[in-house]
Structure 1
Amino acid sequence: MTDASRLARVQSSFDRQGLMQHLGARVVRVASGLCVIALPYSDKVTQQQAGFHGGAIGAIADIAGGYAGLTLAPDGMEVTSVEYKINFLAAFQGGELRATGHVVKAGRRLIVTTADVIHIDAEGRESACAVMQQTLMAVPKSY
């Protein structure tokens, strides 16, 4: 499978994600075992102190890890999260978050991934925001 076909597969699934569309997230990069998702700062992704909400951070980490796993899943299959654990490292306002998902191990039944979430400020400076570990399960595609 080529990176172009992996991107098409991921983008097709991503476009069906109502939450990602609502939050304004986008797919930045897809390769074998890798996916990068961006989330710009907006009033849709904030908590009461105007920083990025932990739920939004967790959501893009989950999606980045999930789509990294999807790049290695067999044709006709999707992936679903079985569990994930996230550590929030710092809070941020403004700019954009980037979640980079990587496959650690793709087994026959389970796929283990990680995701690093960074914040990119208006000047392009990058800072660590969160780290996640995730377990996925391949399931038949139902659409």
Structure 2
Amino acid sequence: MDALSAPSALFQRIEASFLRQGMMQHLGARLLRVEAGLCEIALPYSERVTQQQGGFHGGAMGALADIAGGYAALTVAPPEAEVTTVEYKINFLAAFRDGELRATGRVARAGKRIIVTTADVVHVDANGKESACALMQQTLVPVPKTY
């Protein structure tokens, strides 16, 4: 890997935490992009993420949005901290199957004790067409890192 394609220190910090997420690993999620105040994660369609009618399960969409927002928050938290979700609210806009979901978390407000984020979840079909899937707002708090 050359210097231009090497992951940033911020990406590496978020990736180290992301790889400890057993659920995200089990579901096959991938960390796509990390910037200060932003994180994008992809979740491919598989039998692990479906509901009884074959579409992406709302729980999988919620988990993806929660993780994207959480890692966006972690980018603005102190280096010795992790973050934990206090609450989130999600609106499901449409159901999809096949392709993949992409959640982009963004920090709306970063305080010392509370961080508020949003996440947009879109469905990407085999042709690359994006369609709105869900919207989430979340409140997180920094917590001590225990690993």
TM-score, normalised on structure 2?
Answer: 0.95
Residue matched to 2:44: 40
Distance 1:5 1:31 in 2: 10
Q: Residues 73-96 of structure 1: CA distance to partner in whole angstroms, max 9, x if unpaired?
A: 011100000000000000000000
Aligned partner of 2:50: which letter? T
In the alignment of these two chains, the number of paired residues is 141
The runs of 5 or more residues in structure 2 that have no matched partner are 1-6
Distance 2:20 2:97 in 1: 28
Q: Does 1:142 align with 2:124?
A: no
What pairs up with 1:1-143 in 2 under 5 angstroms? Answer: 4-143=8-147
Aligned partner of 2:116: which letter? V
Distance 1:74 1:17 in 2: 20
Distance 2:79 2:14 in 1: 12
Shift of 1:118: 0.1
Runs of 4+ with deviation above 2 angstroms: none
Same amino acid, percent of matched pairs: 70
User: Secondary structure of 2:24's partner?
Assistant: helix
Shift of 1:17: 0.4
TM-score, normalised on structure 1?
Answer: 0.98
The runs of 5 or more residues in structure 1 that have no matched partner are none
Q: What RMSD, in angstroms, separates the aligned Cα atoms of the two structures?
A: 0.7
User: Secondary structure of 2:20's partner?
Assistant: coil
Aligned partner of 1:71: which letter? T
